[in-house]
Structure 1
């Protein structure tokens, strides 16, 4: 298991001094990036070997949001490799070891030369230490779209949304989708399914569905094929 300690910064909080959902998601992403860097199989290694890990899905459950100045520990560990898929859990704990949030994620190992998924390399299998999966209710990775959704105004991808893989970072899709939530919507559960990568200059066409339990946002191309689908529950 890999862990990193931090303290909730002012820049990571909202008007109520609680950690934003965007900051929470970034902590999870940063934690697994730092593990890879410390193992010597991080961004530069992957670039040199024309490989990449692409996120296929998130499932995040928030028990409570840490607050300004609070000390936290973020933990992550892989629990399964299967073909070209990797599975990874996360937790965020407070100073007393109580869980504030936990998550599951599914990743696809990519051969960038062939531009397609590849069997996970021996190097990855050697370096990552497997742990038992976190005890949680695991949701389906696939998110089904309802037949009728409300179309919103389209927008273009900006340079600051692009990451080292030269496409939109996974957290940015969640931030885009969150813009369609009503004020004071407290996120308890979030699922995100990533279907294809948007790049700089692409146009995004949002479609929104809501009921008394959840909001679902499809961020699609001009043919209404989703780049990502994000589901929020209170």
Structure 2
């Protein structure tokens, strides 16, 4: 991890877990987002600062690997740092450590800075380079694998966007797309497997009152399961693409 490293401790509460008493992937993603926001606030370039510059961060990509999901009652430390800044993109790294300091999860993410009113990308402010301690010449990108195209639809579900799905940027919170994607995987599949990796690309904003369709292609190999997901808005346009990789509970 490069740049300033910020860490924050979290306890896994009951509302963070699934039926196996292990943290939901969406809970971990919420922690990643929270510690990134916390870092910006600590460095004086948080929500109020961005608003005063008519700017906001929008998440573009995730690539998350989970070694072991923390369990109910566990205390974990989540770390983050800005890896590099390039034009209007920010590349960020994250780690999850257990109480013994062992890394049990990692994540890479890509964000871009937008003009709040125009909803269009803008160049990274010089003050952000300085605050994150990133050299302006440091524009190396994190390697992020592409997401496969969906070729068949094994299942689909429909959802209406609620007020509680909306975040501070007035569009759907990024974790909701992950929930919708996983919800399209039949329960009997979910009960057999444990999620080990997830890749996400956010392509289009969706808003309160609209509806979405969550589609999934499932390749069940017995000891593992790979899924390709697609979230469509109510005009049939791709809003989010995802891939999830699962391992049999017998192997976990």
TM-score by length of 2: 0.85
Match of 2:242 in 1: 230
Aligned partner of residue 190 in structure 2, secondary structure: coil
* Unmatched 5+ stretches in structure 1: 132-136
1:119-175 per-position Cα deviation (integer Å, ceiling 9, x unaligned): 1001111111349xxxxx9432x4232233246243211110000000001111111
Matches within 5 A, 1:69-218: 69-130=73-134, 138-140=143-145, 142-150=146-154, 152-181=156-185, 182-184=189-191, 185-212=193-220, 213-218=225-230
- Does the 8 A contact of 2:210 with 2:234 survive in 1? no
How far, CA to CA, are the matches of 2:108 and 2:190 in structure 1? 27
CA-CA distance at 1:24 after TM superposition: 1.1
* Unmatched 5+ stretches in structure 2: 136-141, 247-252
How far, CA to CA, are the matches of 2:106 and 2:180 in structure 1? 22
* Residue range with higher mean Cα deviation, 89-98 or 216-225: 216-225
Match of 1:134 in 2: none
- Does the 8 A contact of 2:158 with 2:212 survive in 1? yes
Number of matched pairs: 228
- Does the 8 A contact of 1:85 with 1:106 survive in 2? yes
CA-CA distance at 1:201 after TM superposition: 1.1
How far, CA to CA, are the matches of 2:157 and 2:97 in structure 1? 38
- Does the 8 A contact of 1:53 with 1:107 survive in 2? yes
- Does the 8 A contact of 1:77 with 1:129 survive in 2? no
- Taking only aligned residues, the RMSD between alpha carbons, in angstroms, comes to 1.8
1:83-133 per-position Cα deviation (integer Å, ceiling 9, x unaligned): 1110000000011111111000001111223321111001111111349xx
Aligned partner of residue 22 in structure 1, secondary structure: helix
* Residue range with higher mean Cα deviation, 90-99 or 10-19: 10-19
How far, CA to CA, are the matches of 2:9 and 2:159 in structure 1? 37
How far, CA to CA, are the matches of 1:71 and 1:106 in structure 2? 27
How far, CA to CA, are the matches of 2:150 and 2:9 in structure 1? 40
How far, CA to CA, are the matches of 1:178 and 1:146 in structure 2? 15
How far, CA to CA, are the matches of 2:26 and 2:119 in structure 1? 29
Q: Does the C-alpha gap of structure 1 residues 16 and 205 become closer, same or farther in structure 2, counting only changes over 3 Å? A: closer
Which of 6, 16, 19 is matched with 1:2 structurally? 6
CA-CA distance at 1:231 after TM superposition: 1.2
- Does the 8 A contact of 1:85 with 1:109 survive in 2? yes
* Residue range with higher mean Cα deviation, 44-53 or 9-18: 9-18
How far, CA to CA, are the matches of 1:151 and 1:9 in structure 2? 31
How far, CA to CA, are the matches of 2:120 and 2:175 in structure 1? 22
